[in-house]
Structure 1
Amino acid sequence: MNLAKAWGREGVSVEFVLCRNEGELISDLPPDVKVTDLGAARMRSALLPLARYLRNSRADVILAAMWPLTVIVPVAARIAGFKGQVVVSEHSPLSIAFKDRGRMHNIALRLSMRLAYPLANQRIGVSRGVADDLASLSGLPRSNFRVIYNPAALGVSLGVGEQTPDLLAGAPGPVIISVGTLKRVKRFDLLIRAFSEIPSHFRVTLCILGEGNERAALEQLATSLGLQDRVLLPGFVTDPGPWYRAASLFALASDYEGFGNVIVEALEQGLPVVSTDCPSGPHEILCDGKYGRLVPVGNAAALSDSLVAALQEKPDRELLKSRARDFSLDKISREYLSLMLTSKRSMT
């Protein structure tokens, strides 16, 4: 959505073609953006409706994000005789994301990529690690994949008269914040266990923004560790900016990330970062530890030690903010436009 807004400012007409016209952010779409509803109950049933749509589309580019859409869209475009560019963008190391789906799913994943990716004009990974993984899975040369990072730095600054979120206003000491969907791969359970090992004299509060099916388990874990008053789970917030700005430290404990938008969001606020060195975005964003601490995946003790060390340091906030600008919306928007468009001025 942010890219669509940036492209609109460049005079590019943008249309969202959705399997279903629903979702938390639908109401936030720019008023001049057209939305087409394919009426597809599931992604795999979108092939023919999408082909029918593309047969009559005059768009210059279609951009599809995330498997299986990244294999459905090139096939639909070929069926429709679509004349524009087909661009696919993957946001996750798929070999890790689907490793527990079984042998047949793995075969289907590899085969679909091998057959459909060559039908696309451009193939994008949101980190070098993702691009490497895509090449390995598909059997295509690594040179067939471009890396364009996510536009996670939006140029948001402290609002005039902004108030600290009420839930954090009464925190007795530093606040460690983490942000993400409450699901297993994000390992908020590991973060809570690491947090429990921080000495009590730091008087630290842990705030985890997000919603998901792990909420009940995380609340139960916090209670079992006697941390129910120090681990806050406010749920999903549309604008996490004030929460970042009220915190002292950002933590990410994921088993894997395609990129790690939340790390850039934290850096943009000058917030020091402690992250697991998981595949594949964090070490690229943090330049192997130059801009934040990296710890082994799944190691609560190492994570806790790094949190304590970071809490005792004085961060160079301007250095952190300067790194975030490498992932600015304007910069990444131009990279996409340079890749996808020349004199063309519309895209889907």
Structure 2
Amino acid sequence: MERHIALIPDRFALYRYPVFRLISEYRRSGSEVVIFADPREDPSRVRLAPTEFCSMDPDEGGIRWQKIRSFYFRNICFWQTGLQRLAFSRKFRVIVYWGEAHRVSTWLSATIAKSFGKKVVFWTHGIYGNEGRLKKIIRTCFYRLADTILLYSEHGRQELVSAGIPAERLHVINNSLDVSAQLEVLNSIDDAYVEKVKRGFCEAPERLLVFIGRLEPQKCLHLLIHAVARLRKRGSPVKALLIGDGIERSALSQLAMQLGVENDILFYGECYDDAVIVPLLAVSDICVSPGEVGLTAMHALVCGTPVISHDDFPNQMPEFEAIKVGKSGAFYRRGDVEDLVKRISTCLADIDSGRITPESCREQILSSYTPEFQRSVFYRAIDPLLA
């Protein structure tokens, strides 16, 4: 059996290109990494990497990428083609699957792979902690198939340990964006430009809040609009810049008018260009994500902007762990507008006092949420499996 590695993500999202590019450079002990992913848009509408990376040489920025197909039922992927062939193939010693228990093809392929002596790895959120008893049992059985598990958070690791998965199999790999490119944009703008951009949205002494992401129900942005209205009534004027689009835009606009803050809620629209996004995040005082926070946290923190999100961690996305209370943001009591108002006020005070700084916001991202960090964890987890 050869010693190559097959990596099968849920999708080849564009934001993962930097880490997949670094992982593709893996050539230890004659091993290579080949990525198997569907290039077509899926129900998540996450932006995907261009298929041109399939045909480019890895030494010129390309990635060893084989196209497969994913099939969905009610927006849930249950089957990926070609996984059974990988399980039988003598080319791959290690197969890294996307670790979701509803993927029937993964159950079958991983079982076959293990019977042929291959090493099985899951890259996954793990157990959230909000599962019902039956779902937790099924997921725990699924994760027992893996020789090694790469997890997006320490919370997920602790939940799996509590479920009886041996701790030595678990590696926290976190998540990442293209931090180098974002810092390059950030370093190209000066204080005068930052002030000019900010004053395009608000006038002193108004403060600027921001949200970036899709305007969808799970983001709970109605709470942010209520918070803006309450802060203004109490003599703390703020404006909220919403970068993104989605099915909630009309309802949010109507709510702003009902509360009399239609001039304080600024709908910027959809934007994926970091040359535009980074300055907008950098000029904002706080990024507020009342629902699940996800990649929004990393995007804001690397720009030096603190983040506020809810404190119900079993119902959070794993990136909530990048937020450090009193250092890079805060958590409010989920669903409680008054507590959200309190946390915004406290966070603004911490910024004014110098307790929260751009440097303190970036610290966790630069240490543990970069493509380079993910590559190091990947190597550390995979190397023993090739021995």
Normalization by structure 2: what TM-score?
A: 0.72
Equivalent residue, structure 1, for 2:358: 317
Equivalent residue, structure 2, for 1:120: 146
Shift of 1:296: 1.6
| 1:341 aligned counterpart, secondary structure | helix
Match of 2:176 among 128, 134, 151: 151
Alpha-carbon contact 1:190-1:253 (below 8 Å) kept: yes
- CA shift in 2, pair 1:168/1:73, >3 Å: farther
- CA shift in 2, pair 1:216/1:330, >3 Å: same
Shift of 1:159: 5.3
Aligned partner of 1:195: which letter?
A: V
Can you give the 5+ residue segments of structure 2 that lack an aligned partner in the other structure? 1-15, 57-61
| 1:150 aligned counterpart, secondary structure | coil
Shift of 1:110: 3.1
Any idea what the Cα deviations from partners look like across 1:263-294, whole Å, max 9, x if unmatched?
23322222123332230556643345443222
User: Larger relative CO (CA 8 A, sep 6+): 1 or 2?
Assistant: 1
Match of 2:282 among 228, 245, 249: 245
| 2:263 aligned counterpart, secondary structure | coil
Shift of 1:75: 3.0
Aligned partner of 1:223: which letter?
A: M
Residue 89 (1) aligns with residue 114 (2): no
- CA shift in 2, pair 1:5/1:300, >3 Å: same
Match of 2:367 among 321, 326, 331: 326
Match of 2:202 among 150, 160, 172: 172
Can you give the 5+ residue segments of structure 1 that lack an aligned partner in the other structure? 100-105
Aligned partner of 2:283: which letter?
A: A
Alpha-carbon contact 2:100-2:124 (below 8 Å) kept: yes
| 1:46 aligned counterpart, secondary structure | strand
Equivalent residue, structure 1, for 2:11: none
Any idea what the Cα deviations from partners look like across 1:229-249, whole Å, max 9, x if unmatched?
321233432233232122122
Residue 181 (1) aligns with residue 218 (2): no
Match of 1:5 among 21, 29, 40: 21
- CA shift in 2, pair 1:319/1:26, >3 Å: closer
Alpha-carbon contact 2:242-2:267 (below 8 Å) kept: yes
Give the stretch that moved more between structures: 62-71 or 183-192: 62-71
| 1:213 aligned counterpart, secondary structure | coil
- CA shift in 2, pair 1:46/1:233, >3 Å: same
Aligned partner of 1:79: which letter?
A: I
| 2:376 aligned counterpart, secondary structure | helix
Shift of 1:301: 0.9
Alpha-carbon contact 2:69-2:80 (below 8 Å) kept: no
Q: Percent identity?
A: 20
Equivalent residue, structure 2, for 1:16: 35
Distance 1:20 1:66 in 2: 19
Number of matched pairs: 333
Equivalent residue, structure 2, for 1:103: none
Equivalent residue, structure 2, for 1:36: 66
Shift of 1:300: 0.9
| 2:227 aligned counterpart, secondary structure | helix
Distance 2:155 2:378 in 1: 19
Distance 2:189 2:324 in 1: 35
Distance 1:70 1:120 in 2: 14
Equivalent residue, structure 1, for 2:49: 26
Distance 2:145 2:38 in 1: 21
Give the stretch that moved more between structures: 82-91 or 162-171: 162-171
Match of 1:224 among 258, 265, 271: 258
Residue 160 (1) aligns with residue 197 (2): no
Match of 1:307 among 340, 344, 360: 344
Equivalent residue, structure 2, for 1:273: 307
Distance 1:208 1:290 in 2: 24
Shift of 1:4: 0.4
Distance 1:160 1:287 in 2: 27
| 1:41 aligned counterpart, secondary structure | strand
